[in-house]
Chains A and B, each alone.
Chain A
């Protein structure tokens, strides 16, 4: 049974760096073909894909946010970490991590519950 759960601050100030952790179980990021991605959703708006990391440490980023994002994994802890620099109020959103079952096919079959991050001074 695959589960994922996001953790991190609920409130960050503008210009600060956001660090979110995805802790998962039911699969290993050392298994060939497996990936974990991050997707966000501003209140009342649509989903936006942010980043992905694969078992072989291949990383993909949203072109529009690439300069601000870093995704890393800790296979021993079953965790994936996303950092986003220079946070702005427009980055207020629910942030989800999700399991990508097929390498280079960027769809997501299991999702975490999401964590709402508010950017405000």
Chain B
């Protein structure tokens, strides 16, 4: 199975900051990557698929980039509702696999 590694595991940031989360695949996955946001006690929410396509209804401050093995999720101007854990997931090959998560906390 393809291993997905996120960095950092956690970060502290302030409202208004620009935040970047990295996801690395253990082998090339083209652009078959999704990003999810999860708040405590809630189900994950799809933010981005195909590495850079914003899911309907997701604010434009979220963006994704990358292809092959290296990907990034950027939040351009962090809002209070963005404090959460973020997961990447590859769907290039079966079985689909998730990263270990990046927790974005309030500084």
Chain B residues near A107 (CB-CB < 8 A) = 34, 46, 49, 89, 91, 96
Is B64 part of the contact surface with A, judged by Cβ < 8 Å? no
Within 83-107 of B, Cβ neighbours of A (below 8 Å) are at 87, 89, 91, 94-101
Which chain B residues (20-76) contact chain A, with CB distance < 8 Å?
Answer: 32, 34, 36, 42-46, 49, 55
Q: Do B99 and A49 touch (CB < 8 A)?
A: no
**Docked complex: A87-121 residues within 8 A CB-CB of B:** 96, 98, 105-114
A-side interface mostly: loop
- Are B46 and A46 in contact, with the CB atoms below 8 A? no
Counting chain A residues whose Cβ lies within 8 A of the other chain, the interface size class is 10 to 19
A109 to B53, CA, bound (A): 12
Q: How far is the CB of A7 from chain B (nearest CB, A)?
A: 15
Does A11 sit within 8 A of B, measured CB to CB?
A: no
Contact B43 A106 (CB under 8 A): no
Query: In the complex, A96 Cα to B89 Cα: how many Å?
Result: 15
B1 near A63: Cβ-Cβ < 8 Å: yes
Rounded to whole Å, the gap between the CB of B105 and the closest CB of chain A is 15
Q: Among the listed B42, B43, B49, B98, which residue makes an inter-chain contact with A49, where contact means beta carbons less than 8 Å apart?
A: B98
Given contacts A106-B91, A107-B89, contact A47 B44 (CB under 8 A): yes
Give, as a whole number of angstroms, the nearest-CB distance from A45 to chain B: 8
Contacts A46-B100, A49-B97, A49-B98 given; indicate if A108 touches B46 (C-beta within 8 A): yes
Say how far A117's CB is from chain B's closest CB, in angstroms: 15
Please, could you name 25 A-B residue pairs with CB atoms under 8 Å apart, sorted by A?
A46-B100, A47-B89, A48-B98, A49-B95, A49-B96, A49-B97, A49-B98, A62-B95, A63-B1, A63-B95, A96-B44, A98-B43, A106-B91, A106-B94, A106-B95, A107-B46, A107-B49, A107-B89, A108-B34, A108-B44, A109-B55, A110-B46, A111-B45, A112-B43, A114-B43
Interface residues of A (CB under 8 A from B): 46-49, 60, 62-63, 96, 98, 105-114
- B residues near A (Cβ < 8 Å) are 1, 32, 34, 36, 42-46, 49, 55, 87, 89, 91, 94-101
